[in-house]
Structure 1
Amino acid sequence: MKKPLVYLFLIVAFAFSCSKGPKRENVDFEEWGKYWFQGKAEISSFDLKQYRYGEERQGEAVLIFVTEDFSRKKQVKLDNSEEAGKDKIGVLKMNQTRDFVTGIYPYHIMLSAFTPTKERSQGLKFSSSVQEWCGQSFSQINLSGTNSYSGKLNSYFEKEGDASISVTGLAEDDLWNLIRISPSEIPLGGVSVFPSLIYQRFSHQELASEEAFIRIQDISNDRKQLELTYSSGTRVLKIDFEKDFPYQIMAWEETHTKTDGTKESTQARRKALKVIDYWKRNKVEDEFLRDELKLKY
């Protein structure tokens, strides 16, 4: 007699895991879709001043934003979204790359963030990789609960090795996508936030949430600025974006205050933008497009 109850529980649990969450109410998705559902990605290039090892390095950053169909259960891009049913969830993906040189050897960094578009949910997945001549590291965390993440860190450093990660709160790396979906979706005031996976890699500190303050203010007639300040006073992130849809990101600045009071500031300023189906532009004859984006690396 107990088996039917068990089966019923499993059916309900499965349905809950595949169910759709509450909608984002303050977004005009008809207008939003005209820009984001046209089968192309937005690519913007930036002049980068990256602080590393106590010195400012000249480099380049790229932001790639594109919508994708994602699997709720596996949290990966779907191969056959038409057959996925309720497992399908639409996300906005950001890939952020940074390239710069420290002395003789280069750094190559990539950060990925996947945030539901129409459903009001925190980012589903964040990953980062850092490659340089000493070795490489890779971090990935996935949303495992209402407000919690779990994942793994793989690193060539002995102290870090291959470690498990668990953290709760709002991901700093989620803010980029939330700006692009709608700044109205960003929680303001006091919020529990954990820092960017890139910052975690550079600081070699345990990923942990901290009380922070988020505000958005006008900085010109056509621009706003998101400012994230951690209560410890060690980190401030500022992202400048256009006031009007599609809220293109124009610049950002990260300030790290060391224990001796010294401030290190990483800055990026946009130099070019293109909306294009880049995955189809992989021939030698397409390399001129890099010139249009003013890409050097």
Structure 2
Amino acid sequence: MSTLARLRRWIGKHLVLGLGLLVLVYTFVPIAVVVLMSFNNNSKSKNVYKFQDFTWNNWLHPFKPGGMKDSVILSIEIALLATLVATILGTLAAFALSRHKFVGRKAANLIIFLPMASPEIVMGSSLLALFVSRGFGGQLGFITILIAHVMFCLSFVIVTVKARLSGLDDNLEQAAMDLYANEVQTFWRVTFPLVLPGIIGAALLSFSLSFDDFIVTNLNAGQEVTFPMFVYGANQRGVPMQVNVIGTAMFVIAIAIVLGNEIFRRRQEKALAA
């Protein structure tokens, strides 16, 4: 076999792997830049993304810019509440759409995709019009942001949990019923543990979407300033490096939660296998 033929064969075997690695590198390069800039002392340059000197001060004083602490706390509060409400309502809706037949089921399955497919400016302006027409015109703030975030997180929760439910084996529930478990016992001991990873994934996705949202929030925030809105306003004067600290911290926390959930799942599988 010639060298050229061997080279073609090697490329054919490793092409998919190579493309996958390139995609991962392309995805994680911006995150690596954010992590690097969280240790940047940029006091000597107006270019905030030019690395000057290494410093720990950004991590030691993450809320040094005025107003940043309040915006981060507000974003976390809204994200937690929106995640809680959207996860509960979305999980219930996913069970209803997956396990029950009723008039309008197909239409409901189609409608839940509309908030995901619609541009955020459309949803944000529509919600703003709704709030203004219902008397929220002078009272836009925490409540209107929370309602808006629940609205666009709900679809993602329903779709994620439905995907988990569609992959469940019905024989497991039937086996539990054959072993004299009633419907409540079957749900809590069989169905819910199997669906729980999907619910956790939907909750993490909802939190990320809520914490990160700018367009819908900006249209319905009133005088409130969330973290993305703070970053947008600070960008006009120069983004403080502490913004990268918050971004890095959120990324590390998300990775830790995902890894912890995966370790817990594998330990459960080993325990069941034993």
TM range (shorter): under 0.3
Higher relative contact order (CA 8 A, sep 6+): 2
Decide which structure has greater helix share: 2
Scaled by the length of structure 2, the TM-score of the pair is 0.22
Scaled by the length of structure 1, the TM-score of the pair is 0.21
Decide which structure has greater strand share: 1
Specify the structure having the higher radius of gyration (Cα): 2
